[in-house]
Amino acid sequence: MLGKDVVFVCGSDTHGTPIVINAEERNMTPKELIKIYHRHFKEIFEKMSIEFDYYGSTDDYSNHHRTQEIVLELIRNGYVYSKTIPLAYCPVCDRFLPDRYVEGTCPYCGMEARGDECDQGCGRHLEPGEILNPRCKIDGAKAEYREQEHYFFRLSSFKEFLLRYLEDLKGTENALNYAREWVKRELKDWCISRNLDWGVKFPGRDDMVVYVWVDAPIGYISFTEEYAKRTGINWEEIWKEKSEIVHFIGLDIVYHHCIFWPAMLKGAGYTLPSAVVASGMVKIQDKTFSKSRGYVVWVEDDYLKEGFHPDYLRYYLVNYTSHQKDLNFSWKIFEDKVNNELVNTLGNFMYRVLHFTWKNFGRIPEVSVSSEIIKKIEEARKNVIESIESYEFKEASDAVMELASFGNSYFQHNKPWELIKSNLEKCQQVIKDCLQIVKALTILFYPVMPSSMKEIGDIIGIDTTSLKIEDVQVEISPLKLSRPSVPFKKIEKEKIIEMQEKLIRRIEKMGNTDTQEYVTLEDFQKMNIRIGKIIAAERIKGSSKLLKLEVDIGDEKRQIVAGFATSYRPEELIGELVPILVNMKPAKLMGVESQGMILAADVNGKPVLLKTEKEVPTGSIVR
């Protein structure tokens, strides 16, 4: 709409150890799993009217090809060397432990960290071998270090380049400040090969893949190539010649986009990004977004299927706060934004003007728009452009909403419902002015709320498929109006309460104690909890979490499947006395029947056994 030629690409990041571990837990291949994810993401984007020119997958052939080309180019240009390094190795699994397969302590801040990043603490990327006290993620075993040859990218030789580059890089301050700080400190060479089957093969090595952070951003190039194939444009003009590349990312991947990625592009002779725009993190009801703790609102199940319009959430996301700040989603704020801003301000104005015109004139009056209104619209247009250029989408949408507020008071103040009886000419003038504001609002809000604005556009004769921002000043055509409908619908208080309760139930289910309700003694007595002795334990094939246990509960023996493999080896559990919920409804896990549930303490998602203070007979009741 600003008259720039834009290609908007995105895609699913499909490689790396999280996918492999997740697929293993679900008993499927990584390829099967990424297909499910990819289809899901694509569908959700479509349902939310998020339209990419191309939405690809990093496992597509074109991305394998482009990644190998770039790695080969880096090798030819002398930026890759091999070195033998000590790597975490699990003696139980008898294998090397790449990235997420190893957990331990961050050497920089001392927090719990994953193999390749300090996700809970300082957010740094960690190189293989850097993590302290390494443990195997699968069985919790203490990892040992073994030597192996790996490939390194000479990131250290890009220090001067990056310092200069980051001076000129545009985008949001949150991204740029972090990146500049990081580069000023020590810049280590970067290990870009991994002992995995899943991923893009390292050129010339069948036993290794490239690190996922090599092939993931290269997706931006290969998706552009795919788009070019479809449309006949030349992708090299975008990625090898002069163009403006802008990345929209989350704050947690600034390091990769501002440091690795530009160095890689520079080393292989590709166009460098001109801006990196990072958004803040998502919060749910003021708490950190977390699937495992239940602080999540699913777009499909909790929003679309509940009958909420995609445009309302789009407006919320854009208008809640500055793009760089954390985005808090709460149902109460949602209700407020929809009912006060969309319904009472924007929708009210548009509907009143259209309805009045339709009822009294049947068509758009043929008078010129007042210069005062032209000025007001021009002001809004300038504000919007300025805000968009500084990536402040809230400011842009506020400027449009302000124009709607102005329209409301202009209509109210001039009282066209009185003018129609006393001064028809003046009435037509006021209505024409208001209709021009409706047109400007429709165009300026189209990127935020496309389907609602298309409906208005259809009534007033605007083709929303080819909008230009200058059109806000093109006088609205004097056509006949059809009967308008209300553009936004008020959300009922009861619905919001229902949604809040749904969220609270989920949080409770995940074991958060701060929102829990009381249970009666009667409720508790429904549970038959007894002390049992673990007499046999073995791994369940295909699962990294589950163990099959046999327990003696006094008068009988039970088979129980428990998620203990992340904390204990099977042999460690034999002979332990543990509390068991024996009237738990039987269930099948990974095809194995479980006839009860062993109670344990949950420490950051890992089970810790509960034991009796002294030896007690098996079958003892817990109450």
Closest Cα partner for 202 from 80, 291, 294, 41? 80
Q: How far is the CB of 198 from Zn ion (least distance, A)?
A: 18
DSSP 8-class letter at 304 = I
**Pairing relationship of beta strands 577-581 and 597-598 according to DSSP bridges:** antiparallel
Q: How far is the CB of 581 from Zn ion (least distance, A)?
A: 29
Instruction: Identify which of residues 81 and 145 has a Cβ nearer to Zn ion in the complex.
Output: 145
Instruction: Identify which of residues 139 and 335 has a Cβ nearer to Zn ion in the complex.
Output: 139
Q: How far is the CB of 122 from Zn ion (least distance, A)?
A: 3
Query: Cβ-count burial of 589 within 10 angstroms (0-12 exposed, 13-18 middle, 19+ buried)?
Result: middle
* Residue ranges that bind Zn ion, judged by CB under 5 A: 90, 92-93, 106, 108-109, 118, 121-122, 136, 138-139, 141
Q: How far is residue 269's CA from residue 609's CA, in Å, rounded to a whole number? A: 56
Instruction: Identify which of residues 96 and 410 has a Cβ nearer to Zn ion in the complex.
Output: 96
Q: How far is the CB of 553 from Zn ion (least distance, A)?
A: 31
Q: How far is the CB of 105 from Zn ion (least distance, A)?
A: 9
Q: How far is residue 57's CA from residue 61's CA, in Å, rounded to a whole number? A: 9
Q: How far is the CB of 120 from Zn ion (least distance, A)?
A: 8
Q: How far is residue 510's CA from residue 529's CA, in Å, rounded to a whole number? A: 21
DSSP 8-class letter at 302 = I
Q: How far is residue 268's CA from residue 73's CA, in Å, rounded to a whole number? A: 5
Instruction: Identify which of residues 96 and 202 has a Cβ nearer to Zn ion in the complex.
Output: 96
Instruction: Identify which of residues 122 and 592 has a Cβ nearer to Zn ion in the complex.
Output: 122
Q: How far is the CB of 180 from Zn ion (least distance, A)?
A: 19
Find the DSSP H helices in 141-232: 159-168, 173-184, 212-231
Q: How far is residue 259's CA from residue 256's CA, in Å, rounded to a whole number? A: 6
Q: How far is the CB of 112 from Zn ion (least distance, A)?
A: 9
Reported as half-sphere exposure (CB side, CA atoms, 13 A), residue 7 has a value of 25
Give the CA dihedral 586, 590, 591, 593, nearest 10 degrees.
-30
Q: How far is the CB of 95 from Zn ion (least distance, A)?
A: 7
Instruction: Identify which of residues 116 and 225 has a Cβ nearer to Zn ion in the complex.
Output: 116
3-state secondary structure 84-152: EEEEEEECCCCEECCHHHEEEECCCCCCEEECCECCCCCCCECCCCCCEEEEECCCCCECEEEEEEEEE
Instruction: Identify which of residues 138 and 503 has a Cβ nearer to Zn ion in the complex.
Output: 138
**Cα torsion 337, 342, 344, 345: sign:** positive
Instruction: Identify which of residues 136 and 216 has a Cβ nearer to Zn ion in the complex.
Output: 136
416's enclosing H/E stretch is helix 416-422
Closest Cα partner for 102 from 126, 70, 124? 126
Instruction: Identify which of residues 319 and 544 has a Cβ nearer to Zn ion in the complex.
Output: 544
Q: Tell me if 581 sits within 8 A of 524, measured CB to CB.
A: no
